[in-house]
Amino acid sequence: MSTTDRTPRPAAEKAAAASGDGPVLRLESVRKTYGRGTVVLRDVDLEVPPHTVTALIGASGSGKSTLLRCANLLEEIDDGAIFLDGAEITDPRTDADAVRRRIGVVFQAYNLFPHMTVLDNITLAPRRVHGVPRAEAEERARELLDRLGLGGRAGEYPDRLSGGQQQRVAIVRALAGRPRLLLLDEITAALDPELVGEVLGVVRDLKEEGMTMVIATHEMGFARDVADQVCFLDGGVVLERGTPGQVFGEPRHDRTRQFLQRIIQAGRL
Ligand SMILES: Nc1ncnc2c1ncn2[C@@H]1O[C@H](COP(=O)(O)OP(=O)(O)OP(=O)(O)O)[C@@H](O)[C@H]1O
Ligand SMILES: [Mg+2]
């Protein structure tokens, strides 16, 4: 968390935040270290406008997951600031639970409770944490399950579903709280290749519906197709950012070119 004085935000930015036109998520000079001085994010700036998709790409260990975990307040930052709809969420006075209610997160491992049905997995947090009445939570869950092609699966236990279906349930669970922002961390990495498409299809649909998303992914073809903004992370620095056409088509940095070259050689772009 920043220990330095912050300059007041300009009136225009406040007005933009109030009207919903400002960035949904903004990182300002975010610095994150682990242990004694291993710097994982250094001076990361990022703006995620409403109804856009930002793809985080970069080699393993470049800091993609850490960035997402900081944005969701799962990790405390060492310096800088993070804003959600213009309000600083890294302020020590922030109610972290309230922030997390506005941010849906899906990780590589779906983390569904095996002893609970799909419906109970989805409605657990809305009912227990957000105090939504059971009938209302279940109605919302069934509506989302229908939308994601899982109608009729509400009563199943997770181990009766394929990996792709379980991951779609995890997405439904993240959407159940009507989040303002969705953070997706390698959500297809654990899936068999033939199941990847169905999950990416859901992300495409969510984009069509206007959901604001930040996605860490090794699926470069998908990032190129779906992202409005691509950020290439290298050693905890956003080395390059731009439209998919810019970053994939005309990378400015050697590091980006080398990374893309490796991806192309591996047949993943
Ligand atoms: N809890 C932790 N404690 C110490 N170091 C950590 C911790 N979590 C991550 N790191 C380190 O931070 C760096 C960035 O990790 P991170 O998981 O953010 O990378 P990533 O870009 O998501 O990689 P991948 O593509 O493999 O998922 C790595 O060097 C990692 O070893
Ligand atoms: Mg990661």
At 18, the pLDDT band (50, 70, 90 cuts) reads low
What is the whole-number distance in angstroms between the Cα of residue 43 and the centre of ligand 2?
A: 19
Backbone dihedral region for residue 248 (phi beyond 0: left; psi -120 to 50: alpha; all else: beta):
alpha
Looking at residue 192, its pLDDT comes to 85
Q: Does the structure show a pLDDT above 60 at 5?
A: no
Q: Does the structure show a pLDDT above 60 at 10?
A: no
Of 65, 107, 220, best ligand 1 pocket probe by most atoms within 8 Å of the beta carbon: 65
**Which ligand 1 atom minimizes the distance to the CA of 189?**
27
Domain boundaries, the chain: 1-102+181-269, 114-178
What is the whole-number distance in angstroms between the Cα of residue 88 and the centre of ligand 2?
A: 25
- Residue 34 Cβ contacting ligand 1 at under 6 Å: yes
- Residue 40 Cβ contacting ligand 1 at under 6 Å: yes
What is the whole-number distance in angstroms between the Cα of residue 217 and the centre of ligand 2?
A: 8
Q: Does the structure show a pLDDT above 70 at 206?
A: yes
Of 32, 34, 214, 259, best ligand 1 pocket probe by most atoms within 8 Å of the beta carbon: 34
Of 64, 68, 231, best ligand 1 pocket probe by most atoms within 8 Å of the beta carbon: 64
- Residue 58 Cβ contacting ligand 1 at under 6 Å: yes
At 267, the pLDDT band (50, 70, 90 cuts) reads confident
Q: Does the structure show a pLDDT above 80 at 237?
A: yes
CB 136 within 8 A of CB 101: no
What is the residue with the minimal CA distance to atom 29 of ligand 1?
A: 61
At 13, the pLDDT band (50, 70, 90 cuts) reads low
What is the whole-number distance in angstroms between the Cα of residue 179 and the centre of ligand 2?
A: 22
Assign a CATH topology to domain 1-102+181-269.
Rossmann fold (3.40.50)
Distance in angstroms (rounded) separating the CA atoms of residues 60 and 5: 34
What is the residue with the minimal CA distance to atom 26 of ligand 1?
A: 60
